[in-house]
């Protein structure tokens, strides 16, 4: 369906699905952080990946396409998912949710800048670096945890690798199966060191174990399903603009759910990173000259 053919009602529904996915994701992250004292950050990653795999397997019935060959193809993608989630939760254990998401968000943003030939992107890159400078400013009255910042940067690198490996793997299977098999590979890596210890702890506290299932649904299964439906109706431009709101949404979730407070300078840093992302999407792309050859697909 062409984006211009959408009715106002259909467009509003698609935007609501996209924003709903972001809200679910940040609610899941906030709930996960509240469970860190019981399961630990690594334990929550193991529980989230395992339960998300079970839910996605049931939704997409991906056991029908499962084979050793598919697992080998998906393994780099699954490792990126594993690293991205693990570094994100380790960072979240030490620094506020809004700062964690904003720093992690720079991974795909810098990846977009790497392949750009637009002069305007230099300005957005400068804005991103300036925003990071405010987020990482050690002279602030409340200096950020250095190890937490490193973990968040690791999550940013892993998110960029997730995009690279995901694009390579996405053509092999449908989007639903690719996501599910990637989650399965991450669960295999995390099963013994992260999932089993946390699950054994949860057996004595079944209510908290059930909450970890809610985290998996809110952080993986539900956002993915909502975003997939929105992607069928919205243009890439719309998706990019609204996804740039994710650091802002994370900041609000941290304030409202986790009661985290941030100084004005760091709030400005988060807005600058989000603004650079939106600007990158909204800036018109350079038109090709008539004699210029089209770019070959990667």
**Res 297: pLDDT:** 34
67-82: average pLDDT: 93
Summarised one tens digit per residue, pLDDT across range 115-165 is 677 778 788 889 999 999 888 876 666 667 899 999 999 999 999 998 889
For residue range 188-239, list pLDDT tens digits in order.
999 999 999 999 999 999 999 999 999 999 988 788 777 767 766 777 667 7
DSSP state of 219: I
Phi, psi angles (nearest 5°) of residue 239: -60, -45
Of the pLDDT bands very low, low, confident and very high (cuts 50, 70, 90), residue 295 is very low
Here the tokens at position 15 are: 């935007």
Q: Which of 128, 116, 123 is nearest to 285 (CA)?
A: 116
The mean per-residue pLDDT over the stretch 49-76 comes to: 92
CB 294 within 8 A of CB 127: no
Neighbours of 230 (CB within 10 A): 21
The mean pLDDT of the chain is 85
Instruction: Report domain extents, the chain.
Output: 6-282
**pLDDT tens digits along 93-104:** 999 999 999 999
CA distance 121 to 279: 8
Contacts of 176 (CB under 8 A, 6+ apart): 56, 59, 60, 62, 228
Measured at the CA of 28, the angle between CA 264 and CA 21, to 5 degrees, comes to 90
- Please provide the DSSP assignment of 52-101 as one string: HHHHHHHHH-GGGS--HHHHHHHHHHHHHHHHHHHHHHHHHTTS-HHHHH
- Percent of the chain whose predicted confidence (pLDDT) is above 70: 88
Q: pTM of the full predicted structure?
A: 0.85
What pLDDT score does 292 carry?
42
What pLDDT is attached to residue 291?
44
d(CA 198, CA 172): 33
* pLDDT tens-digit series, residues 227-273: 767 766 777 667 777 778 889 889 989 988 898 988 888 899 999 99
């Amino acid at each position: 369906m062409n984006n211009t053919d959408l009715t106002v009602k259909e467009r509003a529904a698609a935007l609501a699905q996209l924003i709903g996915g972001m809200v679910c994701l940040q609610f899941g992250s906030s709930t996960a952080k509240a469970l860190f004292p019981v399961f630990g950050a690594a334990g929550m990653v193991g529980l989230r990946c395992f339960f998300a795999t079970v839910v996605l397997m049931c939704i997409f019935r991906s056991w029908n396409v499962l084979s050793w060959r598919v697992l080998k193809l998906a393994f780099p993608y699954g490792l990126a998912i594993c690293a991205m989630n693990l570094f994100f939760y380790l960072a979240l254990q030490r620094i506020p949710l809004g700062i964690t998401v904003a720093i992690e968000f720079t991974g795909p943003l810098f990846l977009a800048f790497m392949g750009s030939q637009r002069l305007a992107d230099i300005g957005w890159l400068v804005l991103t670096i300036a925003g990071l400078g405010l987020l990482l400013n050690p002279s602030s009255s409340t200096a950020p945890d250095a190890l937490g910042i490193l973990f968040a940067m690791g999550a940013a690198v892993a998110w960029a690798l997730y995009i690279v490996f995901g694009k390579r793997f996405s053509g092999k299977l449908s989007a639903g199966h690719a996501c599910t098999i990637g989650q399965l590979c991450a669960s295999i890596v995390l099963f013994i060191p992260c999932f089993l210890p946390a699950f054994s702890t949860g057996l004595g506290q079944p209510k908290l174990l059930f909450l970890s299932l809610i985290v998996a649904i809110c952080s993986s299964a539900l956002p993915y399903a909502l975003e997939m439906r929105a992607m069928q109706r919205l243009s890439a431009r719309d998706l990019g603009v609204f996804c740039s709101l994710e650091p802002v949404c994370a900041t609000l979730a941290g304030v409202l759910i986790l009661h985290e407070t941030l100084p004005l300078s760091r709030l400005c840093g988060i807005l600058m990173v989000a603004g650079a992302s939106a600007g990158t999407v909204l800036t018109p792309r350079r038109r090709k000259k008539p004699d210029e050859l089209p770019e070959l697909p990667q």
